[in-house]
Amino acid sequence: MSDNRYQGTFFEYFSDFQDNRQEGKVYHRLTDILFIVVSGVLCGYDEWDDIYTWAKVPATGEWFKKYISLMNGISSLSTIKRGFSLIQPQEFSTRFIDWMGDAQGDWAKLTGVGMVKREVSFIADPTKTTTETAYYIGSVDDVTDFATAARKHWGIESMHWSLDVTFGDDRNQTRETAAAQNLAVVKRMVFNVLKNETKIQPKTSKPNKRIIAAADIDYHDHLINMAFKQM
């Protein structure tokens, strides 16, 4: 195995989830599955079928080998979804926050990472409510200031709005499952990577950065290095 594989703080934080799959029937590491999904989301693929279709392309498989071993090839679609469903969403979210906190040295003026839970009611249907969880990074270190900043972000520049535009969250058909909750955390991580990428595409929108990543291997490598290695 290349010394360059499985390197970086992201692997350190996310590589030791408890694996409850039946021993002797595990052919694909959860770490590999996670890497495949994060890489796919970076390239603009937001649904399981899309991620799997992209991952099965031979050129994509060769690219994966720079970062992960894939000793038994690409996981099946059902294995990818099942692997994500085995991870407890709360634990995944907690590790995400810890990982972001550890990345402070790589984010200019970052002093804190915060989580906001919102309950949203609908005027058209008062009986319908949804619960949303959003993660914010910023330069405020006071809880009151953070709450004020988070409320201001509820407008057109809010995390949720940005996710709707960049990732099409409103079209996600499996939102309530554990796998979908974990996929939402991945999207938030990718959102932060795209937002922080100002070296190569400083004036490019986040959706267009994903298009470029899908077509330009060098740019995809650059984003992966931001997400997995440097941070």
The span from the first CA to the last CA of the chain, in angstroms, equals 22
The whole-chain average pLDDT of the chain stands at: 77
Amino acid at 79: T
Alpha carbon distance 133, 205 (integer Å): 23
Task: Report the C-alpha gap between 93 and 121 in whole angstroms.
Answer: 24
The answer to whether residues 219 and 211 touch, using CB atoms and an 8 Å cutoff, is: no
**Total length of the chain:** 231
pLDDT digits (tens, 9 = 90+) for 148-172: 766 665 443 444 445 555 555 555 5
pTM for the whole thing?
0.70
CA distance 137 to 116: 11
- pLDDT, one tens digit per residue, over 208-228 is 999 999 999 999 999 998 887
